[in-house]
Amino acid sequence: MSQIQNSKQNIWNIGISNLGFYSKMIEEKKQNIVSRPPVVVVMGHVDHGKTSILDYIRKTHIAEKETGGITQHIGAYQTEKEGKKITFIDTPGHEAFSAMRLRGAKVADVAILVVDAAQGVQAQTKEAIAQIKLAGIPFIIALNKIDMPESNPEKIKGELRKEGLLVESLGGKVPSVEVSAKTGQGIEELLEIINLMAEMGELKADLTKPAEGTIIESYLDSQRGPTATLILNNGILKAGDILATPSTFGKIKVLENFQGRPIEKAQPSDPVIVIGFEEVPRVGENFKVFFNVESAKGSLKPSKEKRTLMVLKVGPEQKVLNLILKADVLGSLEVVEQVLKEIPRAAGIASGDARREKIILRILKSEVGKINESDIRLAKSARAIILGFRVKTDSVAQVFAEREKVKIFQFGIIYELVEGVRKIIESRTKTEEVRVDLGKVKILALFLDEKNRQIIGGKVIEGEIKRGVSIEVLRDEKIIGKGKLINLKRDKKDVEKVIKGQDCGMLFAGDVKTEQGDVLLFYEKRRAGL
């Protein structure tokens, strides 16, 4: 037998002998590919009941704890239906949170589009539909508030049809459920459909992979440091793991479930709270676990990807309003910045209003966390105002701000912030009337006196006068009445103005009878510019 044949035979024999070993590896690989719970994003128009539906499912009262009843940033929660876990992402419903809702859709497997069965399709409903389609994920329509007497689910289905959504009851492919967050009607059916969609989607995760997932929310806790909410996609995340995003890295010091309870490890699709990042990670970033700190640091992206503030060009006739922004979480900060980019349009100043061209908003600083002493110092030096969104001012900073007369405006709801900034803009751009004295005339003769009108002859003794302006009548240097210059003549000809030293004839209309020797003080009111 040749050498080549011997080699082939040996390779064959080795392969046969190792067949069981490789089969075992394949089997172990299959065992590490597990089904994972679905991640469900809840979307829809403001006040259509998204958080209330989750509140009923969780049997907690998250909705009551939200400022103004509106979810201001993304929360992640988990529940069970027939022993199967479901992870929910509750997204803000206000129009300003468009970017946050889209981010929520990107990490989800299934979407629930909540529509008020009485109000029907609204602006953010249409926006949510577009975002769900863009994400390319299956979705369920939850017709909420079905317990209300004015609810009309069939009418709403017709409205949805106009938006390109044909529900199953009308022959389409989109499942719809009539629910009530108040009575619980349809909630169990909704959960069953979610589980059915998850089974059909065959959602899988690889437990052998290094843990990886997405940053859902992040903020700076004054006591615990940079804090982030994560959704796990693959692998098992454990306390002590080293992880990194494109912007920062860290070692997990604290790992908590969505209820804030310490846990040792997290499985795919679990929402968890992580403390240990060196800096606050950016919302929407992907994270991954690394074997050591060096590898984690090496994965960081260049600093050019870090968040940037608005840089604006200021014209010679424009006024600058310097701002310092402080918010509770990065997601909120992102939204506030977006809102400010739209102001003064978002503040309700019409496009034809000159004030739009005369005010420039410039953000000097934009951070998460409490308003502190350094913020006050910057505001004082830059003559800036401080906008706080769902944050407090520490006691030292508050005293400092009062002493230095630095203005702090704090808001808990985004539309209140918009209204507040609109009022600030209006106060800064308000055009006040300013009185301007023009000249004086001494009355030399009276030619006609009837009702409230007089024809007067006089001489300009100071400044100049012009037709149409206001007049104060002075007698013995005291104001005895007011009037207006209706017409002005010089040399029997109508003129627009007469200057110092010239004689003139005037048609005066006023509330007082003038006399020879009185002095008429001419003035006008002008709008002060910026």
Domain CATH number, residue 225: 2.40.30.10
Residue 23 lies in a domain: no
Whether residues 220 and 347 fall in one domain: no
Residue 25 lies in a domain: no
Residue ending a domain, choose from 429, 463, 478: 429
Whether residues 84 and 135 fall in one domain: yes
Whether residues 406 and 458 fall in one domain: no
- The pLDDT profile of the chain, 530 residues, written as one tens digit per residue, is 454 455 445 444 544 445 454 455 455 556 678 889 999 988 887 778 888 888 888 775 455 556 665 556 667 888 888 888 999 887 665 555 555 565 666 688 998 999 999 888 888 888 888 888 887 889 999 999 999 989 999 999 999 999 989 999 899 999 999 999 889 899 999 999 999 999 888 899 999 999 999 888 888 777 888 889 899 999 999 999 999 999 899 999 999 988 888 999 999 999 999 999 998 888 778 899 999 999 999 888 765 444 444 444 555 556 778 899 999 888 788 888 888 877 754 333 443 444 445 678 888 899 888 999 999 999 998 889 999 999 999 999 999 999 999 999 999 888 788 888 888 887 776 656 788 999 999 999 998 888 789 999 999 999 999 988 999 999 998 999 999 999 999 988 999 999 999 999 999 999 899 999 999 999 998 765 43
Whether residues 44 and 118 fall in one domain: yes
Dihedral sign from CA coordinates of 141, 147, 148, 150: positive
**Structure token digits, residue 439:** 């000249």
Would you state the pLDDT for residue 3?
47
How far apart, in Å, are the Cα atoms of 171 and each of 146, 184, 255, 349?
21, 26, 47, 46
Kindly report the pTM of this predicted structure. Answer: 0.64
Would you state the pLDDT for residue 480?
93
Would you state the pLDDT for residue 248?
93
Whether residues 80 and 193 fall in one domain: yes
Whether residues 71 and 176 fall in one domain: yes
Peptide bond into 226 cis (omega under 30): no
Whether residues 286 and 139 fall in one domain: no
Residue 313 lies in a domain: no
Q: Which H or E element spans position 323?
A: strand 319-327
Question: Can you give the residue range of the structural domain that contains 449?
Answer: 433-527
Whether residues 440 and 421 fall in one domain: no
Residue ending a domain, choose from 305, 328, 353: 305
Distance CA 144, CA 118 (A): 8
Whether residues 192 and 45 fall in one domain: yes
Residue ending a domain, choose from 177, 202, 227: 202
Task: Report the number of distinct structural domains present in the chain.
Answer: 4
Strands of 75-81's sheet, edge to edge?
75-81, 84-90, 39-44, 110-116, 139-144, 176-178
Q: Which DSSP symbol is given to 304?
A: G
Whether residues 356 and 447 fall in one domain: no
Residue length of the chain:
530
Distance CA 464, CA 467 (A): 11
Residue 177 lies in a domain: yes
How far apart, in Å, are the Cα atoms of 342 and each of 127, 336, 346, 421, 443?
18, 10, 5, 11, 57
Distance CA 448, CA 10 (A): 133
Residue 30 lies in a domain: no
Distance CA 438, CA 468 (A): 12
Whether residues 176 and 112 fall in one domain: yes
Distance CA 44, CA 34 (A): 32
- CATH number of the domain residue 61 falls in: 3.40.50.300
Residue 10 lies in a domain: no
Whether residues 257 and 271 fall in one domain: yes
Letter for the amino acid at 414? I
- CATH number of the domain residue 323 falls in: 3.40.50.10050
Residue 72 lies in a domain: yes
Q: Which of 126, 157, 122, 140 is nearest to 42 (CA)?
A: 140
Residue 8 lies in a domain: no
Would you state the pLDDT for residue 455?
93
